[in-house]
């Protein structure tokens, strides 16, 4: 893992507020675009994948690298099933939430398989 991400490995799950939760105009170009088009997410856009979301996916930040795959999957299987799969993916066997930069479960200490 690049040194610049080391600060995240011992932190609890950190979440982006998401396109529908953050009401701070101008704080996220992608979210503002989605909202301006009245969509739930970029994958529902006629222009998907656009330059904005492709650039974000390929910006070198490890957890951004799954965004195109996730948006395609979201469109294929629907929001409810996609959320179920994400809930499974981001939980330890002990039921604690996990995230990209955590090397071991903060609850039980079990090593976490990295996604990058």
- In this predicted structure, what is the pLDDT of residue 26? 60
Beta partners for residue 91, in sequence order: 97
pLDDT at 88 over 90: no
Residues 58 and 64: their CA atoms lie apart, in Å, by 7
pLDDT at 18 over 60: no
Q: Kindly state the average pLDDT of the residues 101-112.
A: 88
End-to-end CA distance of the chain: 8
Q: Is the overall model pTM greater than 0.85, yes or no?
A: no
Taking the mean position of all CA atoms in its chain, how far away is CA 112? 17
- In this predicted structure, what is the pLDDT of residue 45? 93
pLDDT at 15 over 70: no
- In this predicted structure, what is the pLDDT of residue 61? 82
Percent of the chain with pLDDT over 70: 74
Q: Kindly state the average pLDDT of the residues 22-43.
A: 80
- In this predicted structure, what is the pLDDT of residue 9? 47
Q: Return the domain boundaries, the chain.
A: 22-77
Kindly report, residue by residue over 44-81, the tens digit of the pLDDT.
999 999 999 999 999 888 888 889 999 999 999 998 99
């Amino acid at each position: 893992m690049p040194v610049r991400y080391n600060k995240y490995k011992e932190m609890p799950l950190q979440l982006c507020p998401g396109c529908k939760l953050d009401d701070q105009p101008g704080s996220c170009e992608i979210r503002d675009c989605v909202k301006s088009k009245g969509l739930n997410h970029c994958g529902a856009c006629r222009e998907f994948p656009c330059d904005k979301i492709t650039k974000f996916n390929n910006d070198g930040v490890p957890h951004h690298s799954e965004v195109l795959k996730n948006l395609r999957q979201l469109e294929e299987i629907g929001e409810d099933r996609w959320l179920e799969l994400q809930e499974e993916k981001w939980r330890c066997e002990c039921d604690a939430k996990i995230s990209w930069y955590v090397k071991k479960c903060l609850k039980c200490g079990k090593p976490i398989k990295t996604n990058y």
